[in-house]
Amino acid sequence: MSYKFIEGSVTAPKGFTAAGVCASVKPSNKTKRDVALIYCEKKCTAAAVYTKNLVKSSAILVTQNHLADGYAQAVIVNSGNANTCNADGVEKAEKMCSLAAAALGVDSNDVIVASTGVIGQVLPIEPIEKGVAMMKGNLSKEGGTDAAEAIMTTDTVKKEMAMEMTLGGKTVTVGGIAKGSGMIHINMGTMLSFVTTDAAISSEMLYEALKEAVEDSYNMVSVDGDTSTNDTLAIMASGLAGNPEITEKNQDYREFVEGITEAFKQLAKKLAGDGEGATKLLICTVTGAKTKKDAVMVSKSVICSSLLKAAMFGADANWGRVLCAVGYSGADVDVTKVDVDFKSVKGEIAVCRNGAGIEFSEEKAKEILLEKEIEILVNVGDGEGKAQAYGCDLTYDYVKINGDYRT
C-alpha cells in the first residue's frame, strides 16, 4: 500500500472539526488550553482501547459504556485533573458528556470523554462548563492543534499527525493527536490519543483494526515503566471518504491496518521522545529472534532498562547494559549469538558481537550517542522475528518533575 504524511491534525479527515480553550481546570493555570472538543458532522463508527491498570479513571468507565454500541460523534477531554479515584467521578464524567452533547446537538451517549492530570483530586465541573460554552460555535478545521495543546500536562510539545492513503480507489485521511510525557508504560502513560479517519469501515472491523495496530505502535512505548490509570486510545471513522465500506478482513482491511499502524507509530515516537525530562528518543530495533513475541520481549526489556536509559543520557556506550536487559527479558535467546550496534545520524558503530565485547572507538561512539535520536540495534541471530520499541533517556529532570508533581 502507499501512504504519505501530510500537514494537519485530528481535523484533517472529512467531517471533523475541533477546538481547545483555557478554562483553568487547575486554578493555577491561567494561560494553557485545558479543555478540548472534537466533533464530526455525522455519527461515526468508533472504537477504543484502554489501560489494563485495575485502577481506572471514571472517564474510561463512562466511555466504555458509551462505545458499547460502536458509535460516537464527539470527544470532550480535559487536562489538569485525572478524575480518578473520586466518589463522584462517574457523575462528573457523565456531566462532561451532557455539556458537550448540549453544545453540539448530539446524544450524550455518543460522546467520548477523557481526563488527564493529578489522581485523587475532585474534578471541578464549573471550569469545564465554562470551557464548553467558550467553544460552542467555534469549532473549526484549524482547531485540531488547539485541541492537541488542551490535552497536554507535562508534555513540552504538541503531538499531532495527519496522513493519506488509498483504499478502494479513494483517498482516505487519518488524523490524530496524543499526549503523554510521564507515567507511560502503555499496555492496552498518562497517555491519551484521539484518532479520526474518513474511511468507511464497520464498527466491528474498526475495533479489530485498532487492536492489531496498537500492538506494534503504542504498546511498544515506555517512558518510565508506570502504566497510567487513564490511558485511552479512541478512533472515530466518518465514512465520508467514499471508499467501499470495510466489513470483513479483506485486502482493504489489511491496507487500512497497515496505514493506521504507521500513523500510530508516528505519534508513539513523539510520545517517547517527549518523556518527562527526556533529551533523547531511543529506538530499540530487534532482529533475528526465534519469534515475534521474543523480539517484542527483548526490545521492550532494553527500552525499559533504567541503567541503559541513564547510560544513553550520558552518551556512554555501555553495551553491557543492553546485553543484561536481553538476558532478563524472558525471551528464548542464545546470548552467545547477540550482536549490538548503536546508530544515529552521526553513523553506526558495532560494540558487541556474539555476546562479547569488541574493540571500538569510544570517541566515535560518544559522537553517535550525543544525538537526539538513538537507535539500539540488537540482532539475536536465532530466526526471523523482529520488533521495535520506543523510549527515552533517564535524566535528572525526570526526578525533579515527579518529585513535586502534585504540589
Residues catalogued as catalytic: 190
For cell 477546538, the residue is 19
d(CA 223, CA 178): 15
For the sheet containing 356-357, what is the strand order? 356-357, 347-353, 339-344, 373-379, 281-289, 385-392
For cell 552467545, the residue is 336
**Residue spans of alpha helices (H) in 274-392:** 292-304, 306-313, 319-327, 362-369
d(CA 247, CA 251): 11
d(CA 136, CA 104): 7
Three-class SS of residue 355?
A: coil
d(CA 81, CA 227): 17
**β-pair partners for 18:** 38, 140
Three-class SS of residue 256?
A: helix
Q: How many H-runs (helices) and E-runs (strands) does the chain carry?
A: 11, 15
d(CA 294, CA 41): 44
- Residue 305 sits at φ, ψ, to 5 deg, of -70, 115
Q: Find out whether 236 and 196 touch, Cβ atoms under 8 Å.
A: yes
SS3 content of the chain, % helix, strand, coil (to 5): 35, 30, 40
Residue closest to 320 by CA, chosen among 268, 363, 284, 356 = 356
Q: Count Cβ atoms below 10 Å from residue 328 Cβ, excluding itself.
A: 9
d(CA 394, CA 359): 27
Q: Find out whether 174 and 197 touch, Cβ atoms under 8 Å.
A: yes
My answer on whether omega of the bond before 336 falls inside 30° of 0, hence cis, is no
d(CA 224, CA 394): 8
